[in-house]
Structure 1
Amino acid sequence: MSWSNVEQMFLDDSLLDPNILQRIGGLTSLKTLSLSYSRLIGTLPHHGWCDLRKLEELNVDGNALEGKLPSCLGNLTSLRVLDISRNRFTGDLTPLSYLKSLRYLSLSRNLFQVPLSFIFLTNLTDLKIFFCDENKLVKEPPIFHTSIPKFQLIAITLSKCTSSDDQQVTKELPKSLYFQHDLRYIDLSFTNFNGNVPFWLLENNTKLEALLLMGNSFTGEIPPCFGSMRRLSSLDLSGNQLSGEVPREITMNSSSLQILRLSNNKLSGRDTEIDISSVDFAMSLQHIDLSSNSLSGTIPRWIWNLSDLEILDLSNNHFEGSIPVEVCNLDNLEYLDLSHNSLSGSIPSCFNLPSITHVHLSQNRLSGPLTYAFYNSSSLVTLDLTGNNLTGNINPKWIGTLSSLSVLLLKANQLHGPIPSQLCKLNSLSILDLSQNMLSAQIPSCLGNLTFGLGYHDKSFPVDSFYGVVSMRDIASAWYIGMELNSVNLLDILDREGTYEYPTWYMEEKVEFTTKSGSYSYKGNILEYMSGIDLSCNNLTGLIPLELGNLSEIHALNLSHNNLTGVIPSSFSNLKQIESMDLSYNNLAGEIPKQLVELNSLEVFSVAHNNLSGSTPERKAQFGTFDEKSYEGNPLLCGTPLNNSCSKSDSPPTEPTASDHEDGEGSLLTCTFFA
């Protein structure tokens, strides 16, 4: 076969000679050239590849190419698909204005200064898809804004675009959008556009399927016209400055709305209810996020009738009342966050949904015992009930059935009784917080058998998911086989081709955990690396189990403010990844194990207010950074950095009195948090 007859060349993910583009000019029949992620460097040459007059598809995305686009790029007049994203290109975009056959254009993640007029696209009559994320948008003199584009896009993305250094940060929407009437997918997120919500985008584009405007500065109320969009599948207005109430029309119409995100605005309203018997209800909703607003009243009843609901986030509002038993009808629910509200009453005992993976009910007023609410919830990964009024014991009959549980947060409740040994069956456990309760008896030694520290195990939301279209090349190529887009939903095609995924990163798992003298949020990838146990501020007694020294990968351990006795286990020297250890406010005696100086990752350490004696650990490595606060309240302890010298000639220290420990007898009022 003659090389001159080759029509397609795919060299993606290869280690190529950077000069390959200069050497392929002889492939005059070439129609497709794909060099994605092939480690190309330097600039695009001005000869060779520019002679490929029959070329219809060119992909050089994901390389390290830089500099300006060569003027000879305009020679490729047969080009339909051009993807130069994820490089370092700069300069003028004029060469693109000659590519009149272009249908798909991706400039994303470069260093272009893109004029808001899109003047370089004006004459591209066939252009349908334009991706321009993460570039710089620049304004031009008003004369350029009068050009009416000759194309009708079906998809446009301008997410995370910045302004040039000499211009205002906020910006108006591109004027060319006013002339678009066939858009199906719009992503203008995190670009700091301002003004009122552009309702005209919906009025002008009746086939719109996805509108993503999150992270901008849009103001005003949400227009009711959103409810009339019969093909709208994804609506995201989160992270703006919207006010007023949520229009009933959004949830009442018979649209195909699946994703509704209005979080982090200034929306208000109380007892917004809908009579579902008298309206054509949008039962297709799968994701609802109304978090971080000022919504009040009881949780709307219509939510519990959404049989397809997978994600529900109503956190950080002012909802009150109880969690109704109807929540148990949501068989597809995976993620539930009702935290930081004023919900009261008990958790429904039927709360053992087959798909539930993450449950956040923290900082409410929930009460009563934890009986069988989560019994046999084998898919549950996160359970956060922090800061409620829950009573009773930690029921061993249900805790051992949570076979996938990775994060268990029961902090700041009124739980009592022993820590059940059934916790030791939770082999996926990475974070355990039982602090600020009234738990008693001994710490189960079998906790040392767990693998704490092997990372968070999230079985529902992919860590690296990102919003929008992953690739639309299959859609662009669909035109080659004559697919009629007017008769199909764009997102349906993308789903079928596996090229579309709505953002899950915004819903990535986040938990609060106290360590290193403060409370921190751990989410996404970071959560995978965090592990810890916090049993502080309880009434635990007995010895610290030697077996806890087996937790070699754990990062934080807090046993402070209990009634623990005996010695500090020398096995703690095996905690090689430990960053924070707090054993303060107990009744521990004996010497501090000298082997602890081997803990090179330790940043925060406290054994204050115990009955320890002997000399402090050698001042080397991390132990050279700890001051007297780490050791205070131990009158029999001597050595640097304390003022007590270990010299035999000195007078013996006085015996500790009850007052030395009166703050540490499990008192919740005086708890200080180090680990």
Structure 2
Amino acid sequence: MQVGAYLPMLWNLNISINDFDGCIPSSIGDMKALNTLDLSYNKLSGGIPEHLANSCIYLQYLVLSNNSLEGQIFSAANFKLKYLMRLQLDGNHFFGKIPECLSNSSNLEGLYLSDNCLFGRIPSWLGNMSELVDLIMPNNHLEGPIPPEFCQLKSLEVLNLAQNNISGNLPSCFNPPQIQQVHVSRNKLRGQLKDAFFNSSSLVTLDLGYNHFNGRIPNWICQLSNLSYLILTHNDLEGEVPHLLCHLEHLRLIDLSYNHLSGQIPPCLDMTALHGDYHVAFNTTSSTAGAPGASPMRKEETIEFTTKNISYSYQGRVLTYMSGVDLSCNKLTGEIPHQIGNLTRIHTLNLSYNNLIGSIPSTFSNLEQIESLDLSHNNLNGKIPPQIIELHYINFFSVAYNNLSGKTPERKDQFGTFEESSYRGNHLLCGLPLPKSCDANGSPSLVPKASTDIKEDSNFMDMDIFYISFTASYIVVVLAIAIILYVNPYWRRTWFYLVETWMTSCYYFIIDHLPKGFRH
């Protein structure tokens, strides 16, 4: 395909979202004036032509995402794209290290390498890319620490290194003033969250989940006035949940689950964003997405959050409407603050697997948008508030394995769909869907239980006792016969005579009934 020979002065080529296959034509390198090339969302294979990287010296936007391209990204000897501003190679099969020749593209604003097979360390020269705005490289095999040179990235807005093998600590000096999103989940990062991001007041998303961070939740998080999504799940954090979190008025998703947090739930945890009509209108595309014909490079932000016991990935407009608090699988104590009932716009609340005591607040009936409520595996007592049936949108509910008593909620609307598993492990609860019926006082009825016990006793036999007594009786009978035959010689002779007669009779009986061919 000699497209470059026919269109040598072409400035913008966009043939994305088609079904083109085969290799990228090397003749594209003949387009000396090419500024934008977008071949994304096709079925292209092979590698990036060297002629393209060597001749299209004015290229600023190169978009090859979501194809089947492979091989190493660029060869250092033939790379002359020094004006490159955006490089989007995500969703391919590129392997090898991030090429050092990219350091010659000093104007690089966006580097998008996610969902490939890249390995090796994150190069330190990326810290010298002063114009870098988006650095997005999740789901690769990158390893080693985050280079301390990243502290020089003052223009960075999005950092996404999730799902790699990155280790070490977060550089304490890393606090880009314009950073909006940080995704470093599912790595091997460790250490304490010291001073990183302490001066990043524009931060909207902080996702550090599935790592090995320890120590306390630092106070600088509470200074992130624009923070909307705080994901610290599956770490080794300890100490109390900071009361200063209550100062974050835009906070919509809090996931502190699977840590070692202790103390009480802050009663002030009734954030404005979770009990009003506030919605985040965060722009998920880059503010400089701009050359004519260039596709927006930054994809919609994705955040993983567990609701209804299932992990979902929320993005786009759905994410802006999602809100929830997950404090499960910690060591929290004390009572559930009744102020939690002020979270009228919350969709998910999970306080399971803690050591919470006291009763379920009646204010929970105010959680009018709640879809998933999990209070299981605690030490809660008292009755389930009957007003809770006013939660018309709820489709997952569990108070299992507590010390609750009284009657289960009326089986009405959504609560008519919940099964025994939602209430099991509370021995003083009664009423449907549990097998225990309630008496006039709302306590478990004893009559059905007694009749059941009588029925069970009538059909009950301890098989161990049966086998032991049978064996003992058999041994006693055999010993008694042996002693009698030993003491009385007449009975002994009679016994052996009867045995011999019986054996002879059996022998001739078998012989008489064998076919003639077998008797010899």
TM-score range, shorter chain: 0.7 to 0.9
Q: Deviations over 1:181-232 (max 9, x none)?
A: 22211222221211112232232x2111111111111011112223231211
Q: Which moved more, 1:341-350 or 1:243-252?
A: 243-252
Q: Deviations over 1:534-553 (max 9, x none)?
A: 00000000000000000000
Q: Secondary structure at the match of 1:378?
A: coil
CA distance in 2, matches of 1:262, 1:325: 25
Q: Deviations over 1:275-298 (max 9, x none)?
A: 96xxxx110110001111111110
Equivalent positions of 1:123-134 (< 5 A) are none
Do structure 1's residue 256 and structure 2's residue 83 form an aligned pair?
A: yes
- Structure 2 contact 285–299 (Cα < 8 Å) conserved: no
2:89 is aligned with what amino acid? L
Q: Percent identity?
A: 48
Do structure 1's residue 430 and structure 2's residue 252 form an aligned pair?
A: yes
Segments of 5+ residues of structure 1 without an aligned counterpart are 1-172, 469-490, 495-499, 655-675
CA distance in 1, matches of 2:178, 2:332: 35
- Structure 2 contact 29–53 (Cα < 8 Å) conserved: no
CA distance in 2, matches of 1:420, 1:275: 43
Q: Secondary structure at the match of 2:178?
A: coil
- Structure 1 contact 456–530 (Cα < 8 Å) conserved: no
**Structure 1's 346 and 334: CA in aligned 2 closer, same or farther, altered over 3 A?**
same
The match for 2:29 is 202
Displacement after TM superposition at 1:369 (Å): 0.5
Equivalent positions of 1:50-61 (< 5 A) are none
**Structure 1's 275 and 501: CA in aligned 2 closer, same or farther, altered over 3 A?**
closer
- Structure 1 contact 603–622 (Cα < 8 Å) conserved: yes
The match for 2:42 is 216
- Structure 1 contact 367–390 (Cα < 8 Å) conserved: yes
What's the TM-score, normalizing by structure 1? 0.63
CA distance in 2, matches of 1:327, 1:460: 24
Q: Deviations over 1:96-122 (max 9, x none)?
A: xxxxxxxxxxxxxxxxxxxxxxxxxxx
2:97 is aligned with what amino acid? R
The match for 1:532 is 324
- Structure 1 contact 583–608 (Cα < 8 Å) conserved: yes
CA distance in 2, matches of 1:250, 1:233: 19
- Structure 1 contact 226–249 (Cα < 8 Å) conserved: no
Q: Secondary structure at the match of 2:73?
A: coil
**Structure 1's 456 and 364: CA in aligned 2 closer, same or farther, altered over 3 A?**
farther
Q: Deviations over 1:620-663 (max 9, x none)?
A: 11111111111111111111111111135534989xxxxxxxxx
The match for 2:51 is 225
Q: Secondary structure at the match of 2:274?
A: coil
Q: Secondary structure at the match of 1:447?
A: coil
**Structure 1's 393 and 578: CA in aligned 2 closer, same or farther, altered over 3 A?**
same
The match for 2:500 is none
**Structure 1's 399 and 467: CA in aligned 2 closer, same or farther, altered over 3 A?**
closer
Do structure 1's residue 288 and structure 2's residue 111 form an aligned pair?
A: yes
Do structure 1's residue 561 and structure 2's residue 350 form an aligned pair?
A: no
1:412 to 216, 228, 234: 234
The match for 1:461 is 284
CA distance in 1, matches of 2:393, 2:114: 37
CA distance in 2, matches of 1:577, 1:651: 41
2:262 to 440, 452, 456: 440
The match for 2:340 is 548
- RMSD over aligned Cα, in angstroms? 2.4
Do structure 1's residue 375 and structure 2's residue 202 form an aligned pair?
A: no
**Alignment length (residue pairs):** 444
- Structure 1 contact 294–317 (Cα < 8 Å) conserved: yes
- Structure 1 contact 466–502 (Cα < 8 Å) conserved: no
Do structure 1's residue 598 and structure 2's residue 390 form an aligned pair?
A: yes
- Structure 2 contact 307–348 (Cα < 8 Å) conserved: yes
Greater share of helix: 2
Displacement after TM superposition at 1:450 (Å): 3.3
2:390 is aligned with what amino acid? E
Equivalent positions of 1:251-650 (< 5 A) are 252-253=79-80, 255-270=82-97, 272-274=99-101, 281-396=104-219, 398-452=220-274, 454=277, 457=280, 459-462=282-285, 491=291, 494=292, 502-504=295-297, 506-647=298-439, 649-650=445-446
CA distance in 2, matches of 1:364, 1:251: 34
CA distance in 1, matches of 2:28, 2:78: 19
**Structure 1's 430 and 208: CA in aligned 2 closer, same or farther, altered over 3 A?**
same
What's the TM-score, normalizing by structure 2? 0.81
2:438 is aligned with what amino acid? C
**Structure 1's 306 and 259: CA in aligned 2 closer, same or farther, altered over 3 A?**
same
The match for 1:246 is 73
Runs ≥4 in structure 1, deviation > 4 angstroms? 175-178, 249-252, 453-456, 465-468, 651-654
Larger Rg computed on CA atoms: 2
Segments of 5+ residues of structure 2 without an aligned counterpart are 451-520
CA distance in 1, matches of 2:5, 2:185: 45
Q: Which moved more, 1:428-437 or 1:301-310?
A: 301-310
**Structure 1's 455 and 366: CA in aligned 2 closer, same or farther, altered over 3 A?**
farther
2:39 is aligned with what amino acid? L
CA distance in 1, matches of 2:449, 2:327: 31
CA distance in 2, matches of 1:252, 1:301: 19
1:226 is aligned with what amino acid? L
- Structure 2 contact 324–349 (Cα < 8 Å) conserved: yes
- Structure 2 contact 3–27 (Cα < 8 Å) conserved: no
